[in-house]
Amino acid sequence: MQSPTVMEAGEEVLQVLGVCETVEEIKDVIVTTTEEDSNTNSPPVASSGPGTKPSQDDNWGETTTAVTGTSEHSLSQEDIVRITKDLEDSVGLDCRRYFTLTLAVILGLLVFLTPLAFLVLPHLLWPERLQSCGTACEGLFISVAFKLLILLLAVWALFFRPPRAGLPRVFVFRALLAVLVLLFVISYWLFYGVRILDSQDENYQGIVQYAVSLVDALLFIHYLAIVLLELRQLQPCFSVCVTRSTDGETRHYNLGQLSIQRAALAILEHYYCDFSVHNPALLSASKSRAAKHLAGLKVYNVDGEFPAAPAEGPGNNAAAGLAHSQSRAMIAAAARRRDSSHNELYYEEAEHERRVRKRRARLVVAVEEAFTHIKRMQEEEQKKAPGDVMDPREAAQAIFPSMARALQKYLRTTKQQHCHSMESIQQHLAFCITNNMTPKAFLESYLTPGPTLQYSRDHWLARQWTLISEASVTSGLKDGTVFLLKCVDFSLVVTSKKIPYIQMSEEYIDPKSHKFVLRLQSETSV
Amino acid sequence: MAFVPGQPVTAVVQRIEIQKLQQGEHLILGFSIGGGIDQDPGQNPFSEDKTDKGIYVTRITPGGPADVAGLMMGDKIMQVNGWDMTMVTHDQARKTLTKKKEDVVRLLVTRKSLEDAVKHSKGCYPRK
């Protein structure tokens, strides 16, 4: 493995060597180099993280500011919260899942064994009085067998698929269908029991036909299940607008007639593919601005009353009036104050944009140069130089150090450094090298934040979602339905609108009717 | 000079009598016309109303019979020898003006300055 090509100051050596270590250590390295860059934009990453080594920077204690809640520290705390919640809930969910599974299996067995029982019971109970089965009757045996086979395959295809999610309430349609099947089978058994078992009917062909009619009706119920569960929601009926609450990213999807919980499930599956990954580090700037606004003016009450007590209840009119006048005074003062924060924002953003572009340019050049150091070995060369041959992983490790620093700096500037670990970058590099991808293709996943699916599992940050809705979650989507999908860090606000009824009319144009004339403007001399 | 369909057109006109000049075997008048109901009225540089499809004088040969008679560039020809020129095709206008049997044409032409002159002489300024 060749040594890194760029070595300037002592601190930079520390940084380059730190590249190959764990994510925890990287955080510490960020602490030190942030001070050197004097980057006022970045959030105070210098706030405490687990396992910080104070010896790395003597000024660490003095330069920390108030925790803004967006540092790496808050991420790991949320991880802990999430893990405990997962532990609590997993037990309850599994019980429910197994319960429904056993119910379904029992129902299925009942349904399949019923026709067979109808056919077999006469032979067991009154075999001597039974009429022998003629040709037509035996033909019906074949039909029963094949229909049962088809029913078995169809039920397996429709119902026995691995469940994608655990929803809060039961599937209404599935429950209704199960009840329908149960009632149906019970009524058939009742009839069988009363009219055939009790009276010990000898007409075996009639019994076989009865069993065949049962299987036919079951196939029709399965058709009903397909239509209700699968086909009905295929036709798009509603257009839903999904907005992420933290940064406002919005998408629109078309959904059919679904219940709210199924619509929420469909939306979440789209969320993981379409929305860019949630990056809490990007929100720090607006939060610090908001904090500055609040901290700009303070209201002191010099009359000796305590304005701190919040106005509770209608009886507390004096305090309520006080709070009102305070807020009005603050608003008036803020309006009069010459606020130059918009100016700061403008220049900050321009500066940040410039810095990002510069780092991106350096990164692109470094990666392109790195990729020129290796090439795929041809077959003829294999015999010539067997010593220097590397597999993709080794090749990636060989060229990685030359681009590591540029990539690290770029990720830090765009606040994506927590999304990519060194291991994942090297893996991605090996993958790109194996598949003959260009440097641009390799960089694409770092230059733009991709959908959540692209990142490793621990960045998914939530598999536990809460559906908050005013209407019952098993009721259908309607025009103007609003519900929230909340996870630990953010929530998705979903509104639905009905797709309007489109009235289309036709107009026939004769192909021969396309005729043109020149626009004349002649001048004649007389 | 705009007209309302169905209503009679009123305009202040000047009567101009042009003697045709024999040039070789043609009788020429010494000006060029443009416009007509089969032409594109939007391209007429002389009309005030760009939907006006009347016959306009587009060029005058200096020293020719039309110039001598007092015809000016941009005039709209309303009548030629009694024949109406406000609703004719370009070719019909040309034919009416170049009849071989006539050697004098009496035109009724109108222009903006005529109307302004009449208004001034009446004593009332055009109201805005």
Could you give the CA distance from residue A165 to residue A485 in angstroms, rounded to a whole number?
14
Percent with pLDDT over 70 in chain A: 74
Could you give the CA distance from residue B94 to residue B55 in angstroms, rounded to a whole number?
10
Could you give the CA distance from residue B46 to residue B31 in angstroms, rounded to a whole number?
15
Could you give the CA distance from residue A144 to residue A485 in angstroms, rounded to a whole number?
48
Could you give the CA distance from residue A427 to residue A456 in angstroms, rounded to a whole number?
12
Could you give the CA distance from residue A398 to residue A389 in angstroms, rounded to a whole number?
12
**Under DSSP, is residue A243 helix (H, G, I), strand (E, B) or coil?**
strand
Return mean pLDDT, chain A.
79
Most confident of A94-103, A292-301, A326-335: A94-103
pLDDT for B76 equals 93
**pLDDT greater at residue A294 or residue B46:** B46
Mean of pLDDT values over A478-485: 93
B53, closest residue in chain A (CA to CA): A521
Q: What's the pLDDT band for A187 if we cut at 50, 70, 90?
A: very high
Kindly report the pTM of this predicted structure.
Answer: 0.62
Q: Is A116 in contact with A185 (CB distance < 8 Å)? A: no
Per-residue CA distances from A3 to A358, A402, A427, B122 (Å): 25, 9, 20, 103
DSSP letters, A368-432, are HHHHTT--PPPHHHHHH--TT---HHHHHHHHHHHHHHHHHHHHHHTT-TTT--HHHHHHHHHHH
Percent with pLDDT over 70 in chain B: 95
pLDDT for A501 equals 93
Q: What are the tens digits of pLDDT across the range A218-277? A: 999 999 999 998 898 899 999 999 999 998 999 999 999 999 999 999 999 999 889 888
Min distance A518 CA to chain B CA atoms (Å) = 9
Could you give the CA distance from residue A494 to residue A484 in angstroms, rounded to a whole number?
6
Which residue type does B112 have?
K
Long-range contacts of A209-212 (CB under 8 A, 24+ apart): A209/A140, A210/A118, A211/A115, A211/A118, A211/A119, A211/A144, A212/A115, A212/A140, A212/A143, A212/A144, A212/A147
Q: What are the tens digits of pLDDT across the range A120-147? A: 888 888 888 888 888 888 899 999 999 9
Q: Is B2 in contact with B76 (CB distance < 8 Å)? A: no
- Residues in chain A with CB shorter than 8 Å from the CB of B28 are 525-526
- Cβ of B58 within 8 Å of Cβ of A523? The answer is yes
- Cβ of B40 within 8 Å of Cβ of A523? The answer is no
Q: What are the tens digits of pLDDT across the range A436-449? A: 999 999 999 899 88
pLDDT for A306 equals 55
Most confident of A59-73, A300-314, A316-330, B42-56: B42-56
Q: What's the pLDDT band for A16 if we cut at 50, 70, 90?
A: very low
- Residues in chain A with CB shorter than 8 Å from the CB of B43 are 519, 521
pLDDT for A17 equals 38
Min distance A501 CA to chain B CA atoms (Å) = 42
CB-CB neighbours of A290 under 10 Å: 10
pLDDT for A123 equals 87
- Cβ of B33 within 8 Å of Cβ of A519? The answer is no
pLDDT for A506 equals 95
pLDDT for A36 equals 39
Paired tokens of A454: 């692209």
* Residue A194 DSSP code: I
Q: What are the tens digits of pLDDT across the range A104-113? A: 889 999 999 9
pLDDT for A437 equals 92
Residue A216 has pLDDT above 90, yes or no: yes
CB-CB neighbours of A72 under 10 Å: 22
- Residues in chain A with CB shorter than 8 Å from the CB of B46 are none
Asked which of A55-64, A423-432, B7-16, B80-89 is least confident by mean pLDDT, the reply is A55-64
A522, closest residue in chain B (CA to CA): B34
Mapping DSSP onto H, E and C, the string for A439-496 reads HHHHHHHHHCCCEHHHCCHHHCCCCCCEEEECCCCCCECCCCCEEEEECCCCEEEEEE
pLDDT for A357 equals 95
Of B29, B31, B39, the CB nearest to A521: B39
Of A519, A521, A526, the CB nearest to B97: A526
Q: Which of residues 54-83 of B touch A (CB under 8 A)?
A: 58-59, 61
pLDDT for A76 equals 56
Q: Is B50 in contact with B41 (CB distance < 8 Å)? A: yes
What is the dihedral sign for C-alpha A259, A263, A264, A266?
positive
Mean of pLDDT values over A167-176: 87
Could you give the CA distance from residue A26 to residue A423 in angstroms, rounded to a whole number?
12
Q: Which of A329, A276, A320, A321 is nearest to A300 (CA)?
A: A329
Could you give the CA distance from residue A382 to residue A361 in angstroms, rounded to a whole number?
36
| B11-48 per-residue burial string, b: 16 or more CB within 10 A, e: under 16 | eebbebebebbeeeeebbbbbbbbbbeebebeebebbe
CB contacts < 8 A (A, B):
38
Q: What are the tens digits of pLDDT across the range A416-430? A: 888 888 899 999 999
pLDDT for A122 equals 87
DSSP letters, A195-233, are IIITTT---HHHHHHHHHHHHHHHHHHHHHHHIIIIITT
pLDDT for A238 equals 95
pLDDT for A89 equals 53
Paired tokens of B39: 């032409």
**Under DSSP, is residue B24 helix (H, G, I), strand (E, B) or coil?**
coil
Asked which of A64-68, A151-155, A348-352, B52-56 is least confident by mean pLDDT, the reply is A64-68
Q: What's the pLDDT band for A57 if we cut at 50, 70, 90?
A: low
Residue A7 has pLDDT above 50, yes or no: no
CB-CB neighbours of A229 under 10 Å: 16
Could you give the CA distance from residue A397 to residue A403 in angstroms, rounded to a whole number?
11
A523 and B CB contact within 8 Å: yes
Asked which of A313-317, A343-347, A447-451, A457-461 is least confident by mean pLDDT, the reply is A313-317
Of B34, B94, B97, the CB nearest to A521: B34
B94 and A CB contact within 8 Å: yes
Mean of pLDDT values over B92-105: 91
Return mean pLDDT, chain B.
88
Could you give the CA distance from residue A260 to residue A481 in angstroms, rounded to a whole number?
9
- Residues in chain B with CB shorter than 8 Å from the CB of A520 are 38-40, 90
pLDDT for A279 equals 83
pLDDT for A177 equals 93
Could you give the CA distance from residue A324 to residue A307 in angstroms, rounded to a whole number?
11
- Cβ of B31 within 8 Å of Cβ of A526? The answer is yes
**Under DSSP, is residue A518 helix (H, G, I), strand (E, B) or coil?**
coil
Q: Which residues contact A431 (CB under 8 A, 6 or more apart)?
A: A392
